[in-house]
Amino acid sequence: MILFKRSTDLRNYLDIQCKHFKKCGFVPTMGALHEGHISLLDKSKKMNEITVSSIFVNPTQFNDPADFEKYPITLEKDIAMLETAGCDILFLPTVAEMYPKGTKAVMHYDLGYLDTILEGQYRPGHFQGVCMIVHRLLEIVKPDNLYIGQKDYQQCMVIKKLVELIGMKELINLNISPTLRENNGLAKSSRNTRLSENERIKAAAIFQTLHSIKEQLQKGELNSLKIQAFNKLTEKDFKVDYVEIADAGDLQIADRWDGKQKLVALAAAHLNHVRLIDNILLN
Ligand code: AMP
């Protein structure tokens, strides 16, 4: 694995490689890697001659400074995991490298409705920060294939929209991978490292609650299901931001189900100051 810290060095290297018509897959991450990240990398390895991964804890997407401060960093372990998984290139830039003109937003990405609901509502500015960094990374790496996880359902939609907004839709193929979970259902996440063993057991309640929505789903109104789920998590000591059911295609909030519409259930809840998100497709 070759490690690059400077974008120009990485781009020069990729320019030489791409002359040989090699397909390039890209797996952007914020580090503290786990099997979920590696599943994206494995997919890229199968579909591309070159796989690039990046580790960058992006300050502009953290609306809560404490969350940024406490974001887990396990660089040595990450490098070993990427090497074992057969990653070809690791891009490990500094904040100055990614934001040479500073981290203040210079443009607004028009994400419309997506920016105002769920994660957009509870983490103001989060998706603008995601767009800033993904835009910059895509302009440097220029991948043929981009690998992202369904774990961040709304982020997948935001990135799809971003790729259109920056005119890269025809150039980049988006691959969305299923969420890898612990045996008890808890979605694997870098933030899980901030949970104790006991809290990890407790945290599986998020998946179990989403799963019980799936089991109880029937035609008609959906609000009682959402309220029941919200209360169940609150009873189990979560501070719940939301439990929602939405259209799986455009994330419009669904209050009724006609028995056909494709739906996704999404939740965000804090367990002892660690904010966790998860989602499952309902049908
Ligand atoms: P992060 O490092 O949290 O920014 O995640 C980097 C990429 O890995 C994103 O596309 C995530 O959606 C994806 N990812 C995170 N957790 C999982 C998981 N449990 N299963 C599959 N993909 C994941």
**Residues 243-271 pLDDT 10s:** 999 999 999 999 999 999 999 999 999 99
Quick check: is 211 catalytic?
no
pLDDT of 18 above 90: no
Q: Which position has the token pair 């995601």?
A: 130
State in Å, rounded, how far the first CA of the chain is from the last one: 41
d(CA 7, CA 29): 16
pLDDT digits (tens, 9 = 90+) for 165-220: 999 999 999 999 999 999 999 999 999 999 999 999 999 999 999 999 999 999 99
CA 151 – ligand 1 centroid, Å = 6
Reported pTM: 0.97
Pocket test for ligand 1, best of 40, 61, 153, 157 (most atoms within 8 A of CB): 40
Ligand 1 atom with the smallest distance to the CA of 190 is 3
Q: What is the largest CA-CA distance in the chain?
A: 58
pLDDT digits (tens, 9 = 90+) for 35-73: 999 999 999 999 999 999 999 999 999 999 999 999 999
Considering the chain, what percentage of its residues have pLDDT values greater than 70? Answer: 100
189 touches ligand 1 (CB under 6 Å): yes
pLDDT of 17 above 90: no
Query: pLDDT at position 71, please?
Result: 97
Query: β-strands 50-55, 256-257: how paired?
Result: unpaired
Q: DSSP letter at 253?
A: B
d(CA 269, CA 130): 20
152 touches ligand 1 (CB under 6 Å): yes
